[in-house]
Amino acid sequence: MNRPFDDATRRTIAARCAAFTRRPDGEPSTRLKRAAVAIALTEGDRGDETALLLTLRAADLRAHGGQWALPGGRCDDGETPVVAALRELREELGLDVADGHVLGLLDDYPTRSGYLITPVVVWTAARAALSPNPQEVASVHRVALGTIERDDAFDFTAIPESARRVIRFHHDSGLIHAPTAALIYQFREVLAGRDTRVADLEQPVFAWK
């Protein structure tokens, strides 16, 4: 499905986010470190589509170096997830987004590495200028929403270490795993008007640290 980067698309996505029944934080928030990521929506590479921003983390980062990720990181003391996500967009991509461009929040996702991630959906300016921080970001990519809405964009597999399903996002001839794949999958479901939960979707073992 083609979603032009225009005000009609912004209003549609804002309405879908508003209709989404977000699951409360619950017990995991008391024992996990808080973090936030931005599902940042911008103009796609073709210019007539809406895309989300996806980063490849710098290879020499201490944690999860060289992995695909949504822009984001740990919440500083006293920060809300929204404030943290917008700060991380500035620090990682040089992208300033005003509070008024936040469209909604998705479910918190507990990671094996000890974080509770809050996804924040934000709308950016057309062809927003990006200035990736090389200490954190190896490259940044615009993934058209039509790509994540394909029937074959995601699949599920099993691993012997867990009874939970492992989700995989097929991107650029490779695979992206949870938590990133789980968060993008829930956003895809929100776009379709479905309240699909993803906290029980598993990460591969290499992401457990």
Provide the CATH number for the domain around residue 31. Answer: 3.90.79.10
CA gap 57, 41 in Å, rounded? 19
In a domain, 96, yes or no: yes
In a domain, 2, yes or no: no
Contact 152, 185 (CB under 8 A): no
Contact 183, 92 (CB under 8 A): no
| DSSP run (H or E) holding 28 | none
One digit per residue, the tens of pLDDT, for the chain of length 209 reads: 789 999 999 999 999 999 999 986 544 456 899 999 999 999 998 878 999 999 987 756 666 556 889 999 999 999 999 999 999 999 999 999 988 999 999 999 999 989 999 999 999 986 778 999 888 888 999 999 999 999 999 999 999 999 999 999 999 878 999 999 999 999 999 999 999 999 999 999 988 87
Q: Which domain holds residue 51?
A: 7-207
In a domain, 84, yes or no: yes
In a domain, 1, yes or no: no
- Tell whether omega for the bond before 179 is within 30 degrees of 0, i.e. cis: yes
Q: Specify the residue for token string 């457990």.
A: 208
Give the total number of structural domains in the chain: 1
DSSP state of 71: S
In a domain, 79, yes or no: yes
In a domain, 74, yes or no: yes
Residue 57 φ/ψ region, left for φ over 0, alpha for ψ in the -120 to 50 degree band, beta for the rest: beta
Q: For the whole model, what pTM was predicted?
A: 0.94
